């Protein structure tokens, strides 16, 4: 996240990113003047961006503290707020102040109440876990991005109305833009209000009680639902405020703007999801740091690295925060739910469909074989989630391992199918070890940080990318390659069988069900979790290797973190423990994208929000719904 006029030089960034983060022109001039007068002046410019990131972080914290739900849709909500404001002012001719008031005080809070009532509240009543809540959040993200794209198009807009006053004041020899002062004032007011509420003798105790154990709070007559609604309303309003403040400083397009806002999640992670003061401090420091880096000029490779770091400093903060921040205190007691196991008939039915799909592949037209070749790699990637779920883990960043596998396979065409999973396993070990003792939500955020960092600092950098990926010689023919992919997929399915069978399956189920109980049985929970995580990373990297051989080139956009979230949502929606369902989901996603590019994301977004209701997941007694 960076302001206009900061001369973003992301040589390695995707074209989309560069487009979105380029200066927009008119509003850039005062900023450019501001940042050209030394380190102090740069710092002032950074304060503004830090304030917006802080505001966004406070919204996430406000929601998390009273609902226990990490609102990963805040980026999309901010993007929607920005688009709504732009449409209201530029297209419908509404006065800016009125439009802002409507969005902040009506639309965003109502949307918060809506997703609380329609999505998250029912999930909590079903005693759903972290995975289900995160998946629902990503479902909302995908839906909002899809709706914004459908309504306003995918092109970047540069005419978002500015909410900040022009002009500046002189303070201590520095020129301070009035806009920065307003942003800082807003941030301070919101933070003070949140802290005062949380520290109140009665209200504060109620909030902490609800955060501690929502179920018990409801049974005790505490206003858990009311506080939850308030948390969602405030969280969405702050996300929309951040989006509206940021929009004039960047090019506004649905996908990239959402991701740019999402990158500020690092400040929330650094604050352990609960501490507003730390979030604000980290946000302001990162904003200042990003601005100060503009003053540092290096040439050659170091210059490229510096440019990448400068452009993605919030990503770097996210990466550091997940490792450095102490383990999160999860907001409430989680009821462990074993993955649903289908009946024998369902399993046989599922596998018959997979076999039928394989047989049908023999009659594919030559022009369709290229598309079909993407199905087994995606199926392997989805199966990697099954490995993780065996010990109750979720990964928001499988794209890191898939992309790494693809890179390794592209670099080593002869041994890629062996080297890729090996590299994935090593990478998985390296990244899981420091956070193995932390909660599943922490590990999940670590994977997200890893995926975002891998995407920005590796996959998008020319240093690491290869234009073409040659297949091993024996896989040259298209039909033969498809057959080999099917064999590879079969190997993965067989390799994952012990996860829910026999002695291994029982040990893993014990860990998934109750870590303390598993420890009492003498199991080394951390070691098993790390090994399974590495195994999942190896499977994902194996999928990446097939992927890059199928497409013939390494495309960084294929391993964007958002794609990883869509994969997780798809796997969760169809049932993470069912191998045939995952394979069929992969086929469906590839077919949907072949028919209408991007369709799979919309379908997955809808499925993530609706399918859990259609499947036989645990529910409250009918009386208490």
Partner 1 sequence: MTVALRCSDVFVRYGGIEVLHGVGLAVPFGAVTALVGPNGAGKSTLLSWCAGAPSTATGAGGRLELARDAGRERLADATSWSASRRAALGLRLVRSGVNVFQSLTVKENLLAAGDPGAVIGASDSRHSELGPGASERASGRSVFERGALELFPELEPLLSQRAATLSGGQRQLLAIGCALGSRWRVLLVDEPVQGLAPALADRVYAALAAAAARDRAVLIADPVTHRAAEAADFVWRLERGRVVFAGEAAELRS
What residues make contact with partner 1 under the rule CB under 8 A? 124-127, 201-203, 205-206, 208-209, 211-213, 215-226, 329, 333, 335, 337, 616-625
With H, G, I as helix, E, B as strand and everything else as coil, classify residue 401: helix
Residues 6+ apart with CB under 8 A from 11: 304, 307, 308, 462
Distance of CA 325 to the CA centre of its chain: 18
Distance of CA 36 to the CA centre of its chain: 34
> Which residue, 223 or 598, has its beta carbon nearer to partner 1?
223
> Which residue, 329 or 610, has its beta carbon nearer to partner 1?
329
Residue 266 CA to residue 288 CA, distance in Å, equals 15
Residue 110 CA to residue 242 CA, distance in Å, equals 17
> Which residue, 521 or 619, has its beta carbon nearer to partner 1?
619
* Contact present, 530 and 429 (Cβ < 8 Å): yes
* Contact present, 465 and 556 (Cβ < 8 Å): yes
For the bound state, the minimum distance from the C-beta of residue 223 to partner 1, rounded and expressed in Å, comes to 5
**φ and ψ at residue 169, rounded to 5 degrees:** -130, 155
For the bound state, the minimum distance from the C-beta of residue 278 to partner 1, rounded and expressed in Å, comes to 18
Residue 488 CA to residue 143 CA, distance in Å, equals 33
* Contact present, 79 and 243 (Cβ < 8 Å): yes
* Contact present, 481 and 373 (Cβ < 8 Å): yes
> Which residue, 212 or 593, has its beta carbon nearer to partner 1?
212
Give the residue from 289, 130, 298, 274 showing the smallest Cα distance to 194. Answer: 274
For the bound state, the minimum distance from the C-beta of residue 125 to partner 1, rounded and expressed in Å, comes to 6
For the bound state, the minimum distance from the C-beta of residue 229 to partner 1, rounded and expressed in Å, comes to 12
For the bound state, the minimum distance from the C-beta of residue 109 to partner 1, rounded and expressed in Å, comes to 18
> Which residue, 126 or 438, has its beta carbon nearer to partner 1?
126
For the bound state, the minimum distance from the C-beta of residue 124 to partner 1, rounded and expressed in Å, comes to 7
For the bound state, the minimum distance from the C-beta of residue 206 to partner 1, rounded and expressed in Å, comes to 4
Q: For the chain, what's the residue count?
A: 625
> Which residue, 107 or 230, has its beta carbon nearer to partner 1?
230
> Which residue, 180 or 227, has its beta carbon nearer to partner 1?
227
Residue 546 CA to residue 487 CA, distance in Å, equals 11
User: Which residues are registered as beta bridge partners of 177?
Assistant: 168
Q: For residue 72, give both structure tokens.
A: 């990963």
> Which residue, 218 or 478, has its beta carbon nearer to partner 1?
218
Q: For residue 28, give both structure tokens.
A: 């850039």
For the bound state, the minimum distance from the C-beta of residue 442 to partner 1, rounded and expressed in Å, comes to 17
> Which residue, 171 or 335, has its beta carbon nearer to partner 1?
335
Residue 493 CA to residue 501 CA, distance in Å, equals 13
The answer to whether the Cα torsion of 313, 560, 394, 505 is positive or negative is negative
Pairing of strands 168-171, 174-177: antiparallel
> Which residue, 18 or 332, has its beta carbon nearer to partner 1?
332
**Other beta carbons less than 10 A from residue 105's beta carbon:** 12
> Which residue, 501 or 615, has its beta carbon nearer to partner 1?
615
Give the residue from 228, 295, 253 showing the smallest Cα distance to 82. Answer: 253
For the bound state, the minimum distance from the C-beta of residue 211 to partner 1, rounded and expressed in Å, comes to 8
For the bound state, the minimum distance from the C-beta of residue 215 to partner 1, rounded and expressed in Å, comes to 5
Residue 321 CA to residue 435 CA, distance in Å, equals 11
With H, G, I as helix, E, B as strand and everything else as coil, classify residue 575: coil
> Which residue, 216 or 531, has its beta carbon nearer to partner 1?
216
For the bound state, the minimum distance from the C-beta of residue 309 to partner 1, rounded and expressed in Å, comes to 37
Give the residue from 567, 582, 554 showing the smallest Cα distance to 416. Answer: 554
Residue 293 CA to residue 306 CA, distance in Å, equals 8
Distance of CA 463 to the CA centre of its chain: 25
For the bound state, the minimum distance from the C-beta of residue 394 to partner 1, rounded and expressed in Å, comes to 19
């Amino acid at each position: 996240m960076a302001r206009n006029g900061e001369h973003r030089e992301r040589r390695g960034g995707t074209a989309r990113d560069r487009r979105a983060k380029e200066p927009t022109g008119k509003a850039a001039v005062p900023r450019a003047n501001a940042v050209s007068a030394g380190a102090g002046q740069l710092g002032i410019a950074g304060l503004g961006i830090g304030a917006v990131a802080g505001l966004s972080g406070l919204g996430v914290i406000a929601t998390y503290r009273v609902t226990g739900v990490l609102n990963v849709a805040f980026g999309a909500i901010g993007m929607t707020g920005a688009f709504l404001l732009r449409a209201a002012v530029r297209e419908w001719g509404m006065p800016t102040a009125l439009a802002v008031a409507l969005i902040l005080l009506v639309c965003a809070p109502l949307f918060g109440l809506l997703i609380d009532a329609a999505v998250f509240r029912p999930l909590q009543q079903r005693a759903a876990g972290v995975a289900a809540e995160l998946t629902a959040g990503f479902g909302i993200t995908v839906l909002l991005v899809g709706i914004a794209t459908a309504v306003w198009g995918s092109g970047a807009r540069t005419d978002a109305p500015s909410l900040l006053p022009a002009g500046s004041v002189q303070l201590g020899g520095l020129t301070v833009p009035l806009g920065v002062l307003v942003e800082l004032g807003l941030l301070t007011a919101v933070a003070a209000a949140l802290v005062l509420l949380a520290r109140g003798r009665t209200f504060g105790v109620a909030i902490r009680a609800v955060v501690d154990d929502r179920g018990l709070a409801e049974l005790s007559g505490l206003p858990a639902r009311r506080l939850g609604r308030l948390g969602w309303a405030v969280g969405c309003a702050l996300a929309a405020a951040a989006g509206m403040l940021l929009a004039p400083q960047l090019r506004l397009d649905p996908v990239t703007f959402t991701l740019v806002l999402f990158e500020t999640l690092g400040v929330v992670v650094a604050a352990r999801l609960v501490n507003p003061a730390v979030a604000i401090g980290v946000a302001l420091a990162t904003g200042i740091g990003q601005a100060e880096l503009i003053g540092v000029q290096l040439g050659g490779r170091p210059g490229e690295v510096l440019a990448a770091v400068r452009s993605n400093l919030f990503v770097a903060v996210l990466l550091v925060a997940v490792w450095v921040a102490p383990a999160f205190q999860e907001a409430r007691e989680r009821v462990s739910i074993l993955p649903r196991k289908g009946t024998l008939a369902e399993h046989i039915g599922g596998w018959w469909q997979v076999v039928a799909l394989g047989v049908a592949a023999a009659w594919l037209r030559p022009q369709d074989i290229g598309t079909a070749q993407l199905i087994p790699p995606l199926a392997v990637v989805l199966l990697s989630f099954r490995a993780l779920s065996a010990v109750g883990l979720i990964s928001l960043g499988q794209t890191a391992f898939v992309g790494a596998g693809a890179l390794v396979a592209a670099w080593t065409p002869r041994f890629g199918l062996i080297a890729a999973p090996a590299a994935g396993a090593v990478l998985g070990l390296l990244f899981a070890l420091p956070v193995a003792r932390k909660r599943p939500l922490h590990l999940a955020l670590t994977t997200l940080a890893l995926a975002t960092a891998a995407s920005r600092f590796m996959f998008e950098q020319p240093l690491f990318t290869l234009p073409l990926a040659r297949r091993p010689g024996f896989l040259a023919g298209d039909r033969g390659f498809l057959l080999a992919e099917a064999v590879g997929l079969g190997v993965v399915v067989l390799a994952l069988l012990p996860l829910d069978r026999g002695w291994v399956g029982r040990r893993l189920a014990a860990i998934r069900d109750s870590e303390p109980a598993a420890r009492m049985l003498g199991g080394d929970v951390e070691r098993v979790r790390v090994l399974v995580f590495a195994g999942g990373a190896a499977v994902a990297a194996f999928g990446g290797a097939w992927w890059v051989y199928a497409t013939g080139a390494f495309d960084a956009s294929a391993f964007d973190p958002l794609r990883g979230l869509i994969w997780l949502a798809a796997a969760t929606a169809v049932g993470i423990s069912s191998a045939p369902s995952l394979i069929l989901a992969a086929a469906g996603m590839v077919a949907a994208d072949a028919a209408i590019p991007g369709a799979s994301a919309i379908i997955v977004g809808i499925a993530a929000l609706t399918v859990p209701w259609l499947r036989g997941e645990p529910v409250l007694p009918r009386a208490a719904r």
